[in-house]
A and B are shown apart, each in its own frame.
Chain A
Amino acid sequence: MLKLTDPEFIRKLEMLSLLTRKVLGGTLKADRKTLKKGSGTTFADYTEYNFGDDYRSIDWNIYARLENLVIKLFELEEDLHIYLLVDFSRSMLSKTVFAKQLAAAIGYIALNNLDRLTVYGLADHLQPIIRPSHGRSRVMPMLRALESTECFGEDTDFEQCIKEFQSRGHRPGLCVVISDFFVHGEFEKALDYLVWNRHDLFCLQVSSPQDFKCELRGDIELQCVETGESKRVTIGPAEAARFAETVKEWNLKVQRSCERRGIGFSSASVTIPFELIIQNILRHGGLVT
């Protein structure tokens, strides 16, 4: 397994960053184009001169021809707030490395595009991993921070985590939630909170073949890895098949919930290399133009 700070891994991230182009709002000049007009270098449009406009923007050639004062508008180049919310609950134990790789890839792309990146860990509470950071120089600290983060908490409480996220007064930006979405309670409310707060939301569901296939047979005492709650069951082929069906139904429910809310959704299996997933997800998920 590659470490996040390995040169090889970073080379892969560099390749991915070349693909990213997206127009979103921001306050700082960055490599990213926005819909706002401002003081950039790329011409966008003309508009009528009004009192208070910068007279340096008047296009005197137009005035000479048409005797109307018009000013040139330029595309405003802004930075983007990207929030990575990575599930670090114990249900992600077998998928943490993969989730970290995905988070590292997206974070690298964000920092490389001079976007503002914030990374949080989700479990029974919100745990900051990277404070809001900007610039390419923050890539290595971001990778080290991700690498050193382990699973925490005793449950997955999305709602509580999002409430904590909102209470920190973050500006709207692109929220990427990386999780298996195996949440005992309601997860839709948490998504709603983010949508209501004008975040662009993208859910990336991490899955493993073990999630669908149950190899256990016979009398088993199942213990929840998060809550410690246990239950005695007898698992036979019928129960195993029914379980696989239930997991599929649950994943479908997560996908439908996202679709209903206009939230981008993609699922990623740990069996597929993360770079392929990032390419596909970002292309088809709408994050990359």
Chain B
Amino acid sequence: MIFLNPAALWWLSLLIPLAALYFLKVKPERHQSALLFLWEKVFQEKQSSTLFKRFRNWLSLLLLTLAFIAIVFAMAKPYFAGLSGRRNLIIIIDCSASMNTLQGGESIFEMAQQKARNIIRNLLPSQRAVLASVGTDMKILVGATSNKRELLEGISKLKPTQCALNPEAFRFLKKRKDFYPDSRALLLTDGCFIGAASLRSIEIIKVGSKKNNAGIIGFDIVRLPSGNNSDAGIYINCASTYPDQIQVDLSLACGTPGNVIKVFPLKLKKGVNRPQILKVENAPSGKWFASLDKPQSLSIDNMTCAILRDPPPVKVGILSSNGIYSLLVGSYSQGKTMTVVSKSPEVLICEGNEPEGNNVDKIIIIKPYGKSSFWNHCGSIVDLQTVDIDIAEHPVMKFLKMDNTEIEGVRQLTAPQNSNIIAKTNSGQPLIYKTTSQGKTAYVLNFDPMQGDFFLQVDFPVLLGTAVMDLYGRGASLPPVFKTGSRLPSGTATAFTGGTMLCPDNTVVAYEPDKKLKMPGFYTLKKNGRTLQIAAALLSAPDTLVASSKVESTNKPVASGIPVSLILLVSAILLISLEEILYNRRKAG
């Protein structure tokens, strides 16, 4: 043990005069009585406590002496030199959403704050510390300082975010490590993020213990390509840390959280569960909410939201003398997802080959013929063939039941090497494939739908519709929900730069491209009369699987807890209180 202020030990020399003062203090007052002989009678009956009474003053003096020594030692500021290495510290507090988890009435984040405070209180005057927070990115809150008050105030100002921890944020520390040489980086975290095990230069101090929780980690809602275009498909994925399977109800609401459209019972096993695909008929577009009914230790992942969009119809151009294609496209989409246009189409459907001078980059070619960059060789028609589907889960094929369907008008054709063959004939001829050439993307449908009346089957208009939608690229449209902490895609961000953004807490901020969606809920972007609604939710498996990560503390011993000086002071107060009780007993009986 070393004393930072050894001069304070000189105060111990006051012990003897203080002891003398003590005996003067405890000297009893003298009172005259005419009834001493009766008092003697009273005290003859209480002989048993005489021994204690005799040594009571000494016991009291011993307590006061110990209290005085404790105070002097506290003033001398003792510390244990060998415990921590006493290097400068970089204290990083995890501010991710999982830190909001409640454990025994307080959140894991509050526990981490308390641990950080204890570490700071034990800093030596010669030690410096940096206070940083990590969430979607890392921020230095208090630069290298030995000012404990400043550091403690920095901790008090910290608040947990509602975003998942971004492991990339730790790169920031690597860049700045040169600024803090000979320092230890301590991360106070619940360990709920990916890549925690690979943090070698950071010592992890794990906070919180395993806690039961279940939540939504994946959510998507899209319009299904059905006949009336009013049904919606919902993708939902949940995770649970309960040791046993639990039953929860998933409520789907539209417009407002209270307007429940449908309730699905779900059985959740421990860990990440298999995703569920649910169908909602006549689903209106707009705001959608999904929530689990069971209250959990982490509440933020119990509810998620999304926007079901009805994008403007895709402009389809048809180059064919046969009007059946226009009829099929029009009746399939009913003007909602596709519309047939004569000028400036976005997707072109043509028979045989693309026209000369075509500048449409998304093409569907039916009954291929002649030379084209979308096939290497196109030969003669082969006999009746049956369909053999290679990729059943492909967006174009997943709604079709064409396996073993007889089909006619198939030509001997060689698909380019970069082609993605989705279906072949039983003889191996490429039947449906997607290929790219000269910046254009095309679906080649190597058959004649007019032969064998294939165009009358329901599969053909669905095939056309899904191929158009795939070519147009649903991926280019905004997703129904963003993860909290993410930014908008660059195209959308650029379009709304300089506009305003209404956040879920009803605050309006100026929108910048680097603006992150930090809160779960709905945002409204506005610029020049154009409005865009987007949704954000946590949807983070590591955060939902709260405190169940196998990450353990990796830190070397660090001076934390209550400082020795404070313990000594508290002990002194306790001793003085005990002595006061004894003294009070002597003074007040």
> Do B587 and A219 have beta carbons less than 8 Å apart?
yes
Q: Is the CB of B36 within 8 A of A246?
A: no
Set of chain A residues within 8 Å of B42, measured between Cβ atoms: 239, 242-243, 246
Q: Considering only CB atoms, which chain A residue lies closest to B37 in the complex? A: A184
Q: Which residues of B contact A (CB under 8 A)?
A: 26, 28-43, 45-46, 53, 585-589
Q: Which residue among A230, A233, A242, A247 has the maximum number of chain B CB atoms within 10 Å of its CB?
A: A233
With contacts A218-B589, A240-B589 known, is A225 near B34, CB below 8 A? yes
Q: Closest residue to B49 on the A side, CB-wise?
A: A234
Q: Verify A242–B45 contact, CB threshold 8 A.
A: yes
Tell which of B26, B30, B36, B588 has the most Cβ of chain A within 10 Å: B36
Q: Is A53 an interface residue (CB 8 A)?
A: no
The 8 lowest CB-CB distance pairs between A and B, nearest first, are A236-B589, A91-B34, A217-B589, A219-B28, A224-B36, A218-B587, A219-B586, A221-B30
> With a CB–CB cut-off of 8 A, which chain A residues contact B46?
239
Asked if B39 and A233 make an inter-chain contact with CB atoms under 8 angstroms apart, the answer reads yes
What are 15 A-B pairs with beta-carbon distances under 8 A? A184-B37, A219-B28, A222-B36, A223-B31, A223-B36, A224-B37, A227-B36, A231-B39, A233-B39, A236-B585, A236-B588, A239-B43, A239-B46, A242-B42, A243-B42
Residue contact B33 to A235, C-beta cutoff 8 Å: no
Q: Does A229 contact B (CB under 8 A)?
A: yes
CB neighbours (8 Å) of B589 from chain A are 217-218, 234-237, 239-240
**CA gap between A219 and B57 in the complex, in Å:** 11
A residues near B45, Cβ cutoff 8 Å? 242
A93 near B36 with CB under 8 A, answer no
A239 to B588, CA, bound (A): 12
Q: Does B35 lie within 8 Å of A211, measured CB to CB?
A: yes
Question: Nearest Cβ distance between residue B43 and chain A, in whole angstroms?
Answer: 6
Q: Are A229 and B31 in contact (CB under 8 A)?
A: no
Q: Determine the residue in chain B with the shortest Cβ distance to A218.
A: B587
Q: How far is the CA of A222 from the CA of B36 in the complex (A)?
A: 7
Which A residues lie within 8 Å of B30 (CB)? 220-223, 230
Fill in one digit per residue for A121-144: 1 if any B CB lies within 8 Å of its CB, else 0: 000000000000000000000000
- Total A-B Cβ pairs within 8 A: 91
* Interface flag for A56 (CB, 8 Å): no
By a beta-carbon cutoff of 8 Å, the part of chain A in contact with chain B is 90-93, 180, 182, 184, 211, 216-227, 229-237, 239-240, 242-243, 246-247, 250
B34: chain A residues within 8 A (beta carbon): 90-93, 180, 182, 224-226
CA distance A221 to B40 in the complex (A): 12
From residue B466, how far is it (CB to closest CB) to chain A in Å?
Answer: 95
CB distance from B224 to the nearest CB of A (A): 87
Residues of chain B within 8 A of A225, CB atoms compared: 32-34
Measured in the bound complex, the distance between the Cα atoms of B34 and A247 in whole Å is 12
- Cβ–Cβ contact A221 & B28, under 8 A: yes
Task: Name A185's closest neighbour in chain B (CB-CB).
Answer: B37
User: Cα distance A229–B258 when bound, in Å?
Assistant: 90
Residue of B with least CB distance to A232:
B28
| Across-interface contacts of B38 in A (CB, < 8 A) | 182, 243, 246-247, 250
What is the CB-to-nearest-CB distance from B451 to chain A, in angstroms, rounded to a whole number?
Answer: 115
**In the complex, are the beta carbons of A218 and B588 less than 8 A apart?**
yes
A222 to B42 Cα, complex, angstroms: 13
B12 CB to nearest chain A CB (Å): 28
Is B39's CB under 8 angstroms from A182's CB? Answer: no
Q: Are A221 and B29 in contact (CB under 8 A)?
A: yes
Q: Whole-angstrom distance from the CB of B61 to the nearest CB of chain A?
A: 14
- CB contacts (< 8 Å) of B586 on chain A: these are 218-219, 234
The answer for the CA separation of A239 and B43 in the assembled complex, in Å, is: 8
B52 to chain A, nearest CB (A): 10
Q: How many angstroms between the C-alpha atoms of A250 and B40 in the bound complex?
A: 13
B28 & A220 in contact (Cβ 8 Å cutoff): yes
| A250 and B38 alpha carbons, distance in the complex (Å) | 8
Contact partners of A235 in chain B: CB under 8 A: 589
Known contacts A221-B30, A232-B28; A247 and B35 CB within 8 A of each other: yes
Contacts of A247 in B (CB 8 A): 35, 38
Q: Nearest Cβ distance between residue B24 and chain A, in whole angstroms? A: 13
Q: A218-B585, A242-B42 are in contact. List 10 more A-B contacts (CB 8 A).
A: A91-B35, A93-B34, A182-B37, A219-B26, A223-B36, A231-B36, A233-B39, A234-B53, A236-B588, A239-B42
Closest to A222 in B: B33
B32 cross-chain contacts in A, Cβ below 8 A: 222-225
Chain B residues contacting A236 (CB-CB under 8 Å) are 585, 588-589
Residues from chain B with Cβ under 8 Å of A229 in the complex:
36
Distance between Cα atoms of A247 and B585 in the complex (Å): 24
Chain B nearest CB from A288 CB (Å) reads 31
| B residues in contact with A211, CB < 8 Å | 35
Asked if A231 meets B29 with Cβ closer than 8 Å, knowing A218-B589, A219-B587, A237-B589, the reply is no
Q: In the complex the two chains form, is B36's CB within 8 Å of A217's CB?
A: no
CB of A232, distance to nearest CB on chain B (Å): 6
One of A182, A216, A243 near B31 (C-beta < 8 A): A216
Q: Give, as a whole number of angstroms, the nearest-CB distance from B243 to chain A.
A: 59
- Contacting residues, chain B, for A224 (C-beta < 8 A): 32-34, 36-37
Residues in B whose Cβ lies below 8 Å from that of A233? 39, 43
Chain B residue, CB-CB nearest to A223: B32
Chain B residue with the shortest CB-CB distance to A242: B42
Query: How far is B41's CA from A246's CA once the two chains are assembled, in angstroms?
Result: 8
CA gap between A134 and B191 in the complex, in Å: 112
Q: CA of A201 to CA of B172 in the docked complex: distance in angstroms?
A: 110
Using Cβ atoms and an 8 Å threshold, which residues of chain B touch A226?
A: 34
- Closest Cβ of chain B to A28, distance in Å, is 40
Q: Which residues in B have their C-beta under 8 angstroms from that of A242?
A: 42, 45
Q: State the CA gap A216–B35 with chains docked (Å).
A: 13
| Known A90-B34, A243-B38, A247-B38: A220·B43 in contact at CB below 8 Å | no
Which residues of B are found within 8 Å of A184, using beta-carbon distances? 37
CB-CB < 8 A to A246: which residues of B? 38, 41-42
Distance A222 CA – B34 CA, assembled complex (angstroms): 9
A231 to B28, CA, bound (A): 11
A243 to B53, CA, bound (A): 19
- Smallest CB–CB gap between A222 and chain B, Å? 5
| Closest A residue, CB atoms, query B41 | A246
What is the bound-complex CA distance between A92 and B43, given in angstroms?
24
In the bound complex, residues from chain A placing their C-beta under 8 Å from that of B585 are 218, 234, 236
Least distance between B31 CB and chain A CB atoms (Å)? 5
A234 to B30, CA, bound (A): 12
Assess the A223–B28 pair: CB atoms within 8 A: no
CB-based contact A221/B587 at 8 Å: no
Known pairs A219-B26, A247-B35; A231 contacts B588 (CB<8 A)? no
